[in-house]
Amino acid sequence: MCNLYSMTSNIQAIRDLVSEIKSWDDVGNMLPQPGIFPDYAAPIIRREGEHTVLTTARWGMPGSSFVLFKNAQKRAQSIEKKEDREVGKEEFDELLKNEPDKGVTNVRNTSSKHWKRWLGPQNRCLVPFNSFAEFNKSKGGNVWFAQNEQRPLAFFAGIWVGEWTSVRKVKEGQVTADFYAFLTTEPNKEVGEVHPKAMPVILTNENERETWLNAPWEEAQELQRPLEDGSLEVVAVGARRDPAAKS
């Protein structure tokens, strides 16, 4: 599971690859991010009507409503046991509304009903990155991958949802924000030696990016595949942030 990546390229570098971007005001100065962790705000490229925009969202799509319901039930049961009373419907509804949802950073099972509603072009996005890390304790911790030592800009195949209300952090309370995640697939040789379960879905050329943003799902789903063996390099080991990510 990829829960750490870097994005240090500037706005112009992104526009050079995705020339149809019409708006990027929401990203501000877009400072380098050598370490992006779950729930961090980071840039994504998505459709807004007929236009393509560069904006920001928080990393982690909404979790399963079934899981949130079960967690709220456990919380209610704990209250009932501790206070020796029954939790009523209104109280339970309030518990459910405020049940923390940490978000889902990686999406693998696209046949799931939970994810199907967000697989159309209107909810697909590109997630720009320069390198990503997979954790393996025996290999030194975070193992950083990129296309080469120069860390050229590339894109994950992402999905996003706008104006979703949830509780991400108890101290923060309910928030309404845009959220995103990216797809994963079986790993290629390089990533598999570190993390044998999965790797992010990476789009490496204009045709793939265009297909992901616009094509029907029957065509776009073909992109959920690993990169060819030999297409990634280990560029750093052990760091919580890519120590040499380039802009």
**Residue 244: inside a domain, yes or no?**
no
pLDDT at 33 over 70: yes
Residue range 4-14: mean pLDDT, rounded? 96
pLDDT the model gives residue 17 = 95
pLDDT at 247 over 50: no
Give yes or no for a contact between 3 and 127, defined as CB atoms under 8 angstroms apart: no
Q: Is 204 found in the same domain as 88?
A: no
Distance CA 222, CA 76 (A): 43
Q: Is 191 found in the same domain as 128?
A: yes
pLDDT at 241 over 80: yes
247 token code pair: 């802009």
**Residue 247: inside a domain, yes or no?**
no
pLDDT the model gives residue 245 = 62
Residue range 117-127: mean pLDDT, rounded? 97
pLDDT the model gives residue 67 = 85
Range of weakest confidence among 19-28, 161-170, 180-189: 19-28
Q: Is 145 found in the same domain as 83?
A: no
Distance CA 174, CA 197 (A): 33
Report how far apart, in Å, the C-alpha atoms of 80 and of each of 51, 67, 92, 96 are.
Answer: 52, 20, 11, 15
Q: E strands of 97-153, at which residues?
A: 106-107, 124-129, 131-136, 141-146
The CATH number of the domain where 128 resides is what? Answer: 3.90.1680.20
Beta bridge partners of 55: 44
26: DSSP letter: G
Q: Is 148 found in the same domain as 48?
A: yes
**Residue 246: inside a domain, yes or no?**
no
Q: Is 15 found in the same domain as 72?
A: no
Number of structural domains found in the chain: 2
**Residue 71: inside a domain, yes or no?**
yes
Residue range 85-89: mean pLDDT, rounded? 88
Q: Is 217 found in the same domain as 126?
A: yes
Q: Is 80 found in the same domain as 21?
A: no
Confidence of residue 225 (pLDDT cuts 50, 70, 90): very high
- Using CB atoms within 10 A of its CB, is residue 161 exposed (0-12), middle (13-18) or buried (19+)? middle
Residue range 119-134: mean pLDDT, rounded? 98
pLDDT the model gives residue 212 = 98
pLDDT the model gives residue 159 = 98
Q: Is 230 found in the same domain as 150?
A: yes
CA 146, chain centre distance (Å)? 17
Q: Averaging pLDDT over each range in 16-30, 85-99, 160-174, 219-233, which range is the top one? A: 219-233
Residue range 127-145: mean pLDDT, rounded? 97
Range of weakest confidence among 80-94, 103-117, 196-210, 221-235: 80-94
Residue 72's domain comprises: 65-100
Is pLDDT larger for residue 24 or for residue 157? 157
Residue range 77-95: mean pLDDT, rounded? 88
pLDDT at 101 over 50: yes
243 token code pair: 């120590």
Report how far apart, in Å, the C-alpha atoms of 102 and of each of 39, 51, 145, 163, 174 are.
Answer: 8, 31, 25, 16, 12
pLDDT the model gives residue 94 = 86
Could you tell me which of 179, 177, 183 has the C-alpha nearest to residue 212?
Answer: 183
Q: Is 43 found in the same domain as 31?
A: yes
**Residue 52: inside a domain, yes or no?**
yes
**Residue 38: inside a domain, yes or no?**
yes
pLDDT at 246 over 60: no
Distance CA 211, CA 240 (A): 33
Q: Is 229 found in the same domain as 168?
A: yes
Q: Is 166 found in the same domain as 81?
A: no
210 token code pair: 């265009």
pLDDT at 87 over 90: no
**Residue 188: inside a domain, yes or no?**
yes
**Residue 245: inside a domain, yes or no?**
no
pLDDT at 233 over 90: yes
Q: Is 94 found in the same domain as 212?
A: no
Could you tell me which of 114, 128, 206 has the C-alpha nearest to residue 161?
Answer: 114
